Every structure is written in structure tokens, then in C-alpha cells.
Amino acid sequence: MMFQLFVVLSLFAVTAGSPYAKVNGLVVGDKIGFTMSYSSQTSRFGLNIEDAAGNYHFRLAFRQATDPTGSGPVLVMNSKEGVWGGETRAPWPTLEEGGEYTVLIECLQDKFVASLNGQTIEGVEFPYRYDLANAAALHLWGGVASNDGGASIFWNTFTIPIREHFPDPAEEEAMTDEAAGSSL
């Protein structure tokens, strides 16, 4: 049985804006995402998995009923390398005002899939269009209140693969063995 460890980085309940976390590529089995406090007072919010040049390997947009495109409420998935690719859409999930939600994107063998509080989000599957190894950042966006008195989304945490912060024990042991061998 394979255990996957993740690190959660606190954003100290950062209000709406564009929080950003660096990653060093993704591999099959990785999960990446965020926790938020939901507000219906916004028009749209979501996440981008980006490469170093700022291209979007995967974008998951939560478009609310007040979205300026008039297309909400709906979830929209896409990618962008200079120009947008073809969109994929999925039904809007049930979200309660002020509720805390965790959205995780899992890297499967050939696609991204998303879950909301541990439950698969219906229709949120998106085939890879770019190499996972080139993923460089998780970028949260939107979530600003649509009106002056409205509440914004609070981004509470990021979830990124723990290997970003801790060396693989096997690699660390090999490096220690190499160092010990070179001093003999």
C-alpha cells in the first residue's frame, strides 16, 4: 500500500487576492488544492496549475450566477498556452454560505480529477494537455466580492505534495552513502 503525504501551507485566512505556491513538477498520484471559506457574493474564483512561463496546465473556474459571462453557475475547466484550449464544463456543486470547503485536484494516469471535501465533483475530469513535470505553481484567483458590502472568499490553506519540502529518504540515503564513500 502506498502512502502519499502532503503538506498544508497556512495562508492565515488571506482574503481574496491571488495566493500563489510554488511546486516542483507533479507526478501521477499527487494532489494539489486549497481550503476556503465560501461566499456567494463573488462572481468567480478558482485555481490554475501553471508552468514557469505562466501557461495554465489546468484551470478550474467556479463561475457563480453573477459571473460577467452570464454562464454561471457552472464549473469550467481549460488550459492555456498562449491561447485557450477547448472548455469542458461540469455542474455547479452545492456550496453553503460561509462553509469551509477543501478542493483537491488529483493527478491520475491520464487526467486531473477534482474532489470537494473528499467527494468526487461530478464531471470534473480533464485530460492532460501538457507534461505534469513542468508544473511550477498553484495559483488561486478571484473570490473578490461583487459588491462593496459583500463578503469575499477567504483562502485558508494550500495543499501541495510534501516532496516539495522534504527530500526522499532513499535519495537522502544515497547522497549520504556517496559522501561517505568519497572520504575513504
For residue 182, the SS3 value is helix
CA angle 26, 28, 32 (to 5 degrees): 50
**What integer is the mean pLDDT of 106-126?**
95
Tell whether the model's pLDDT for residue 12 goes beyond 60: no
- Residue 139's identity, in one-letter code, is H
Bridge-based pairing of strands 44-51 and 20-22 is unpaired
Write down the pLDDT at residue 144. 73
Tell whether the model's pLDDT for residue 8 goes beyond 90: no
Sequential DSSP letters for 82-123:
SEE---EEEPPPP--TT-EEEEEEEE-SSEEEEEETTEEEEE
Tell whether the model's pLDDT for residue 143 goes beyond 60: yes
Query: Contact, 138 vs 20, CB < 8 A?
Result: yes
Show the beta-strand stretches assigned E in the chain: 6-15, 20-22, 31-37, 44-51, 56-63, 74-81, 83-84, 88-90, 100-107, 111-116, 119-127, 135-142, 154-161
Q: What is the CA radius of gyration of the chain?
A: 18
Q: Of 10-14, 15-19, 59-63, 107-111, which range is least confident? A: 10-14
Write down the pLDDT at residue 56. 94
**What integer is the mean pLDDT of 96-103?**
91
Q: CA–CA distance from 27 to each of 3, 57, 59 (Å)?
A: 14, 13, 17
Write down the pLDDT at residue 151. 66
Query: Across all residues in the chain, what is the average pLDDT?
Result: 79
Tell whether the model's pLDDT for residue 119 goes beyond 90: yes
Write down the pLDDT at residue 142. 83
Q: For residue 11, which of 155, 161, 117, 144 has the smallest C-alpha distance?
A: 155
Write down the pLDDT at residue 92. 94
Tell whether the model's pLDDT for residue 138 goes beyond 60: yes
Split at pLDDT 50, 70, 90, the class of 169 is: low
Write down the pLDDT at residue 66. 79
Which percentage of the chain shows pLDDT scores above 70?
A: 72
**What integer is the mean pLDDT of 32-43?**
87
